[in-house]
Every structure is written in C-alpha cells, then in structure tokens.
Amino acid sequence: MVLDLLRGKKPSKEAEQERRRNADILDLAMGQRAKVHVQFDEKDTNLTGVTATVMGVNDAAVLLELGGVSGLKDRFLKKNVTCFFRIIERDERHREIFYNFTSEILRIRQQLDGPPQIAVAFPAALNGAQRRKSLRMRPDFQQFSHIGIWKYEASGFDINKPSVGHCHFKNGLAHIDNISAGGLRFVVRRPHLKESALDPKKGDRFILFLTFGDKVPKLREEYWLVAKVNNIQPDPVSGDLALGLEFVANGVRQPESSKVEWSKITDNVIDDLAQRIYLWHVALYRDRGLT
C-alpha cells in the first residue's frame, strides 16, 4: 500500500500526478517482490552485486532490505545509490517494464536477525531504462519487417526453408517472448513443432535473420546472427516449446559481394542492437507518460 502519499502540499497538479504515478509503480514493485539491483557510486566504494527488496513506501522514503551484503557502515549515509528494477504489467500482453532511479541514503538499519535495511529518499523521478547490457523486452511483432530462423546443421541450411519463418510468426505459430542485445527467447506452438519435426537440443545452433520496420540512422537495418540453445522449456499442457538462445556470432552482409562476414560476439552484447532495443523502451515509456 502506498503510505501517506498526499499528506503534504504539492507545488503543482503535474508534480502531484507524477509523484502518485511513481508511488504506484514502487507499490507494484513491492507487491511483486521485484528484485532491485542497487548500484553504488564508484567513487564511494567498489561494492557490487548488491540487491534489494522494496519493504515499504511513503511520501518521504523507500525502505529497501538488502541482499548480497552482510552490513552497511554509516559512512554511506547521504551517499547516492542508483536502483534498477522490473515490474510486470499483467495485461493482455504481459509486458515487462524496467525502471531506475537515483536517490540518497537517509537511514541505515542493521538487523540482528536479518539483512540490513536502508531508507532512501523518495525518488524525484523514475527513469524508463534498464542497465544497458541486460536490457530486455517483449517486442511487438509489427516492429519486425522479417524474421527467419534456421536450425544449423553440419551440411549447412536451405535459406528458402527456414525452420521457423516470418509466416509462422505472423500466423501465431511462433512468437518472440523477449529479446536483448545478447539473446532472445522464442516460443514455437505445438502444431508447427509436429509439422516441421523440429526437435532442438541444448547446445544446438540456429541461424537468425532479422529486419526491422523502423529505420534508425546509424543502426543496421538487418542482422544475421548465430545463436546457441541455452535452455529448453516444453509446456506440458499446450505442447508448445520455449527456446532460450544466446547470440554467439554476428554477421554483416558485405555490399560488394552480398556475402555475410561473421565475427564472434564479445561481452555477450551486440552494441547497435542494444541501442535499438533501448529506443524501443524509450518509446514505450513515452507512451506511458514517463519521459
């Protein structure tokens, strides 16, 4: 529950609406027990890997219970932290929405029988952005002008016969569950699994070809990718199959020869794809009045 949100006088109707919206989002994060990634300023400490859970929200502060650290010294009082978290909108599209905010530590509480807690100032703003390298979202099908996925065999693959083609996505026989700059998760429906005799195993490779509906200056319009199957999740009820893929190679078509030149992906990230996905997020937040 959002506590005492409107007790104080607000400078404007717009500020009141923004504060209420931010409180609602934080309240939802608390209700979903969303994992919060807490990032300290590098000039203050080299402490990393700290997570938190939202335990309370009022008009002055957000109470966080920390994980990944046994205690926090008083020298962190008045220091700023940046918090990243995700909520799930359980509408018909079941979308993941990512936020971050930077705020000052107001209080530190060391619990004898539990993890430490900190109270940070109620954020002045919630920003629509996740940590760039792990930025992930469920895209609209309309954001792609073409999708093709081929199971890679030692003998190669037939470009005219994708294992999962654009028509299968268009007709609801497959969908992309989420995508990041390092991989994607897609679901193949049972009817197409039977028709195609697709039976992937962990470690198998797939070739992906993606093009996008919107042209963005300085960003590629097409992507050739090699991806490795990291996890497989069959649905025992529907018979559908979800595949988690990690991008391992990035291909760029050469304009002179039209041949694809491949390179290994470093740091598990395709930088320009990360930028495109980030722009999708910005557009999504703008639609929600958050930017």
For the chain, where do the domains classified as CATH 2.40.10.220 start and end? Answer: 137-286
What is the enclosing helix (H) or strand (E) of 81?
strand 80-89
**Burial class, 75, CB count within 10 angstroms (exposed 0-12 / middle 13-18 / buried 19+):** exposed
pLDDT digits (tens, 9 = 90+) for 218-235: 788 899 999 999 999 999
| 54 DSSP β-pair partners | 64
Asked if the model's pLDDT at residue 92 lies above 70, the reply is no
Residues of 235-266 as b/e, b for ≥16 C-beta within 10 angstroms? Answer: eeeeebbebbbbbebbbeeeeeeeeeeeeebe
Q: What is the pLDDT of residue 267?
A: 67
* pLDDT > 90? residue 173: yes
Amino acid at 106: L
For Cα atoms 280, 96, 21, give the angle at the middle one, nearest 5 degrees.
90
Instruction: Give the tokens for residue 32.
Output: 């979903």
State the average pLDDT over residues 258-262: 88
- Out of 97-111, 132-146, 201-215, pick the least confident: 132-146
88, two tokens: 């799930």
Q: Where in the chain is the domain with CATH 2.30.110.10?
A: 13-127
* CB-CB contact of 229 with 200 (8 Å): yes
Helix H or strand E encompassing 170? helix 166-170
Q: Quote the pLDDT of residue 286.
A: 60
- Determine the Cα–Cα distance for residues 135 and 274; give it in Å rounded to an integer: 7
Both structure tokens of 256:
């002179």
| Domain spanning 137-286, CATH class | mainly beta
**Is 123 a residue whose pLDDT tops 80?**
yes
Q: Mean pLDDT, to the nearest integer, of 251-263?
A: 87
pTM confidence score: 0.56
| Secondary structure percentages of the chain, helix, strand, coil, to 5 | 20, 40, 40
Can you tell me the distance from the alpha carbon of 219 to that of 216, in angstroms, rounded to the nearest whole number? 6
CATH number for region 13-127:
2.30.110.10
Cβ-based neighbours of 171, under 8 Å, separated by 6 or more: none
Report residue 291 as tokens.
């930017």
DSSP-based three-state secondary structure for 27: helix
What does the pLDDT look like over 2-39, one tens digit per residue? 444 434 444 578 888 888 999 999 999 999 999 898 98
Per-residue pLDDT band for 205 (boundaries 50, 70, 90) equals very high
